[in-house]
Homo-oligomer: A and B are copies of this chain.
Amino acid sequence: MPVSPLARPFPDLPAIAGARIATARAGYKAWARDDLLLIAFDPGTTVAGLTTRSRCPSPEVETCRRHLPSGEARALVVNAGNSNAFTGAAGAAACAAQVAEVALLLACRPEAVYPASTGVIGVPLPADRAVAGVRTAHARLGSGDWRAAARAIGTTDTFEKAALREALIGQTRVRLVGFVKGSGMIAPDMATMLAFIVTDASVAPGFLQQALDRANAASFSCITVDGDTSTSDTCLAFATARAGHAPLTGWDSPGADAFAFALLDLCRELALLVVRDGEGARKLIEVRVTGAVSDESARRIAMSIANSPLVKTAIAGGDANWGRVVMAVGKAGEPAERDRLAIRFGGVTVAADGAVVPGYDEAPVAAHLAGEEVEVEVDLGLGDGRATVFTCDLTEGYIRINADYRS
């Protein structure tokens, strides 16, 4: 697949003290690329995370859930090309074997190792390759190449997705590096497919979790590519505590707000990068809903619009088809009154009070829709609830990618 037209250049990223990186080719598919990532963390690294709400999670997701309460991390290991989901006892054993091997190599407890896998569902992860892969990677651990890391965890991704934020905690500048993969089965339900954040800040795990929850609610939970929630959604944040400031233990800690904002802003950029690499995407769509009876109601309506195949195909065709936006509002099951509804594309009011505006001129709207970034705004005129959701258009590329993905 060609690189998404919505791709962004890969940023310059610093090494994060306390994190060593390596990639390797485990060979989960017949491809000539690295498909295993290992990051080793110094002792004292804390961790927080979110995983999918799917009722059919992978053993990797279940392992992360078991390990997270300790708040400690010594390693992250990621496999690409095989999600190991729905693979029964064989898959669980392969996951455990890989985690045990990492623990052996790093001389740490297995409970400090966080695994993640992404790719085809239903085929057990080959334990021999998973174990051999971490051995190869371990021998290469170094200050590392984030771009290689981002590339190694990708599947149908067409470009590497990462971002950097900094925050001042007292006099100490801390850095947060995040990287993420998409790019189908993206309707994160508490966390996106796979997103990892590494910071040198010193953050108690409880507060790291709170900050991550808040960041997630305004980032990964506000995007959708295809309305399909993965069995493997995992978002993990690691804090190596090497920056040297006093630990952040709660919202009252000096610098806590700055850190939390940087984390949120980082997650928003990562989430948008996922949408920019949505399968077949040619346009980035921002759906803003205001005037709903509550924020949650606004979010449901925004998601109904963002997941509507008819809205997404219309935008793919550059068609300001506000009628389909009306349809998506109407089907959302949330309070809405047709005759109070207003719709804007790119800031231009197309419809108000339940009908197209008098003398509506489609030319500026068509020009907006011809661009790569499209804004759809709906005001319900009922209350103060608001939400913003990001998605991409639905094109023939999505069909082509997914009609023969396994083969």
A residues at B contact (CB < 8 Å): 52-57, 83, 85-91, 120-124, 184-185, 187, 189, 226-231, 307-310, 313-314, 316-317, 319, 321-324, 326-339, 341, 351, 353-356, 394-396, 398-400, 402-407
Q: Tell me whether A87 and B316 are in contact (CB under 8 A).
A: no
Q: Tell me whether A86 and B56 are in contact (CB under 8 A).
A: no
> With A314-B402, A317-B404, A399-B399 as given contacts, are A330 and B122 in contact (CB-CB < 8 Å)?
no
Q: Tell me whether A56 and B336 are in contact (CB under 8 A).
A: yes
Q: Report which residue of A54, A123, A308, A327 has the largest number of chain B beta carbons within 10 angstroms of its beta carbon.
A: A327
Q: Tell me whether B355 and A90 are in contact (CB under 8 A).
A: yes
- Sorted nearest first, the 7 A-B pairs with minimum C-beta distance are A121-B323, A88-B355, A317-B403, A56-B330, A54-B330, A313-B402, A229-B331
In whole angstroms, how far apart are the Cα atoms of A46 and B403 in the complex?
A: 48
Instruction: Give the shortest distance, in Å, between A8 (CB) and chain B (any CB).
Output: 25
In whole angstroms, how far apart are the Cα atoms of A106 and B308 in the complex?
A: 41
**Tally of this chain's copies:** 2
Q: Tell me whether B85 and A314 are in contact (CB under 8 A).
A: no
Q: Tell me whether A88 and B353 are in contact (CB under 8 A).
A: yes
In whole angstroms, how far apart are the Cα atoms of A394 and B317 in the complex?
A: 17
In whole angstroms, how far apart are the Cα atoms of A405 and B321 in the complex?
A: 9
The 16 sampled A-B contact pairs (Cβ below 8 Å) are A55-B331, A85-B323, A86-B326, A87-B356, A88-B353, A121-B324, A228-B331, A229-B327, A229-B330, A231-B327, A313-B398, A313-B399, A313-B403, A316-B403, A317-B403, A321-B406
Q: Tell me whether B228 and A185 are in contact (CB under 8 A).
A: no
In whole angstroms, how far apart are the Cα atoms of A314 and B55 in the complex?
A: 21
Instruction: Give the shortest distance, in Å, between A300 (CB) and chain B (any CB).
Output: 12
Residues from chain B with Cβ under 8 Å of A120 in the complex: 323
Residues from chain B with Cβ under 8 Å of A355 in the complex: 86-91, 122, 124
Q: Tell me whether A402 and B354 are in contact (CB under 8 A).
A: no
Q: Tell me whether A354 and B88 are in contact (CB under 8 A).
A: yes
Instruction: Give the shortest distance, in Å, between A150 (CB) and chain B (any CB).
Output: 23
Q: Tell me whether A55 and B399 are in contact (CB under 8 A).
A: no
Q: Tell me whether A400 and B396 are in contact (CB under 8 A).
A: yes
Instruction: Give the shortest distance, in Å, between A228 (CB) and chain B (any CB).
Output: 5
> With A86-B338, A338-B86, A406-B321 as given contacts, are A330 and B57 in contact (CB-CB < 8 Å)?
yes
Residues from chain B with Cβ under 8 Å of A327 in the complex: 54, 56, 85, 121, 185, 228-231
Known: A55-B337, A121-B326, A122-B326. 6 other contacts (CB 8 A): A55-B329, A226-B310, A228-B308, A228-B328, A309-B309, A319-B407
Q: Tell me whether A316 and B399 are in contact (CB under 8 A).
A: yes
Instruction: Give the shortest distance, in Å, between A129 (CB) and chain B (any CB).
Output: 18
> With A354-B86, A395-B399 as given contacts, are A309 and B227 in contact (CB-CB < 8 Å)?
yes
In whole angstroms, how far apart are the Cα atoms of A321 and B340 in the complex?
A: 44
Residues from chain B with Cβ under 8 Å of A231 in the complex: 323, 326-327, 330
In whole angstroms, how far apart are the Cα atoms of A330 and B353 in the complex?
A: 40
Q: Report which residue of A88, A334, A353, A400 has the largest number of chain B beta carbons within 10 angstroms of its beta carbon.
A: A88
Residues from chain B with Cβ under 8 Å of A57 in the complex: 330, 338
Cβ-closest chain B residue relative to A317: B403
Q: Tell me whether A331 and B187 are in contact (CB under 8 A).
A: yes
Q: Report which residue of A309, A328, A337, A396 has the largest number of chain B beta carbons within 10 angstroms of its beta carbon.
A: A309
Residues from chain B with Cβ under 8 Å of A394 in the complex: 309, 399
Q: Could you say which of B86, B314, B341 contacts A323, with CB atoms under 8 Å apart? A: B86
Residues from chain B with Cβ under 8 Å of A308 in the complex: 227-228
Q: Tell me whether B322 and A404 are in contact (CB under 8 A).
A: no
> With A56-B329, A316-B403, A319-B407 as given contacts, are A310 and B185 in contact (CB-CB < 8 Å)?
yes
Q: Could you say which of B230, B307, B317, B356 contacts A123, with CB atoms under 8 Å apart? A: B356
Q: Tell me whether A398 and B55 are in contact (CB under 8 A).
A: no
Instruction: Give the shortest distance, in Å, between A141 (CB) and chain B (any CB).
Output: 32
